[in-house]
């Protein structure tokens, strides 16, 4: 191997080592700066609540049977009123159009 090839290899090795160190330091800073305390999370500091009270009015839908037809098909859903995370009013009311309410979670 020539001297120039050896110097190029060392240069790339040094840049690789420095780059790996910078990436590891950045990852450590991100993971170590987090907090499990909900009062310290950015949304709480910004005045955004993770939960708000909800009001449900109307006749509850019957429970889904383990077998057979769903007795709730065609019935009117109860009306739901509450607030979004930032306090904006949210209403799910009977306006004659079908509705789907989808709950998602990321555990």
Same domain, 59 and 103: yes
Contact 60, 78 (CB under 8 A): yes
Q: Residue 82: what pLDDT?
A: 92
Lowest mean pLDDT among 19-28, 39-48, 82-91: 39-48
Residue 21 and residue 25: Cα distance in Å, rounded?
Answer: 6
Q: Residue 1: what pLDDT?
A: 57
Residue 39 and residue 20: Cα distance in Å, rounded?
Answer: 34
Residue 27 and residue 21: Cα distance in Å, rounded?
Answer: 10
Same domain, 61 and 17: no
Task: Place 26 in a pLDDT band, splitting at 50, 70 and 90.
Answer: confident
Contacts of 101 (CB under 8 A, 6+ apart): 80, 92
Same domain, 20 and 58: no
Total domains present in the chain: 2
Q: Which residue would you say has higher pLDDT here, 37 or 50?
A: 50
Same domain, 72 and 100: yes
Q: What is the mean pLDDT of residues 69-91?
A: 89
Residue 105's beta-bridge partner residues? none
Same domain, 69 and 23: no
The DSSP output letter for 72 is T
Same domain, 22 and 65: no
- Is the pLDDT score of 30 beyond 70? yes
Is 47 domain-assigned? no
Contacts of 98 (CB under 8 A, 6+ apart): none
Same domain, 28 and 57: no
Q: Give the range of the structural domain holding residue 101, as residue numbers without chain letter.
A: 52-107
Same domain, 67 and 17: no
Is 41 domain-assigned? no
């Amino acid at each position: 191997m020539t001297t120039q090839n050896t110097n190029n290899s060392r240069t790339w090795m040094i840049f690789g080592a420095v780059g790996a160190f910078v990436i590891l330091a950045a990852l450590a800073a991100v993971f170590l700066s987090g907090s499990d305390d909900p009062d310290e999370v950015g949304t709480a500091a910004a005045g955004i609540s993770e939960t708000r009270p909800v009001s449900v009015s109307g006749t509850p839908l019957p429970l889904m049977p383990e077998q057979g037809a769903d007795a709730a098909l065609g019935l009117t859903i109860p009306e739901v009123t509450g607030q979004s995370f930032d306090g904006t009013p949210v209403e799910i009311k009977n306006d004659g159009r079908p509705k789907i309410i989808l709950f998602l979670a990321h555990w």
